[in-house]
Amino acid sequence: MSKDTHVIRETVRQGYAAIATAGSSCCGPATSCCGGNAADDAKALASAVGYADEDLQDLPDGANMGLSCGNPTALAALKPGEVVLDLGSGGGFDVFIAGRKVGADGRVIGVDMTPEMLAKARRNTAAYQASTGFDNVEFRLGEIEHLPVETGTVDVIISNCVLNLSPDKPQVWREIARVLKPGGRVAVSDIALVQPLPDAVLRMVEALVGCVSGAVLIDDTRRMAEEAGLAGIALERNDASVDAMLGSVLDPMYNQIMQHLPANAKPSDFITSLAVGAVKP
């Protein structure tokens, strides 16, 4: 691991540890910086990026921290009995939603590299079990470049606004291909670049933790998935979601980013919310 890779990973880890413990968010409104109700802010953002009202009901307190840029559980069209893996599972938001969909005979595994996030998700598990009656979710500490999951054991991989944070994205895609069963599928929501970001934005640490400066061009995402051996790759932009997320006044980081973009530019001129679908042959 290069020095730069180590620095990037530790910057992200520390940033998301702060989000888990203090509630302050660099990638959404875990705590509103303008007052207001943080839970309502996070729910509003989730609705804006594609979650249905029924997805957001009866979730454990604090599972939704407003860190989404899409709805991978909807993209995945999950079925009862499937084994699902969530990359960068945070407080368990998508894991708990997926757990309801796969039911008692299914399994959902969340992997996160931040111990504070893992602890939060595990604390939330008891409330999830009480509301659903399912004992079908678990959380593992690990990096998405080196998944703590056996080869060929997963039906569906989901991830929400996380892959862009990795300093070694080709390795993440190779790991995705490794752990999927033949015929297994990918449903990822991520931030991608429409065009290169200005240098001033790339230098902002807040932008890295906030799912912006680590993003790659859309064509690079396709190439990495293909080189990992995946097929049927489908990429769909959702500019409205990224404008809702990055244009929010709830987090001052985005105001800083906007100040470094050209005059009259909006976030989706440079960045989009990208839905990525693929299948392991």
pLDDT at 236: 95
pLDDT at 54: 84
Contact assessment for residue 186 and residue 176, using Cβ atoms and an 8 Å cutoff: yes
C-alpha 144/C-alpha 178 separation (Å) is 12
Mean pLDDT of 119-136: 95
User: Could you identify the residue written with the tokens 């399912």?
Assistant: 134
pLDDT in tens, 223-238: 999 999 999 999 999 8
Residue 270's alpha-carbon distances to 24, 125, 208, 231, in angstroms, are 25, 37, 15, 27
One DSSP character per residue, 200-269 reads HHHT-HHHHHTTSTT--BHHHHHHHHHHTT-EEEEEEEEHHHHHHHHT-TT-HHHHHHHHTSPTT--GGG
pTM of the model: 0.84
What tokens were used for 226?
């293909």
In the chain, domain spans: 3-279
What tokens were used for 218?
């859309």
User: Could you identify the residue written with the tokens 């997320």?
Assistant: 245
pLDDT in tens, 109-126: 999 999 999 999 999 999
pLDDT in tens, 177-190: 999 999 999 999 99
From 265, 266, 277, 244, select the one nearest 43 (Cα to Cα): 244
Q: Residue 95 pLDDT more than 90? A: yes
Q: CB within 8 A of 229, min separation 6: which ones?
A: 177, 280, 281
CATH 3.40.50.150 fits 3-279, yes or no: yes
The proportion of the chain whose per-residue pLDDT surpasses 90, expressed as a percent, equals 51
pLDDT at 27: 42
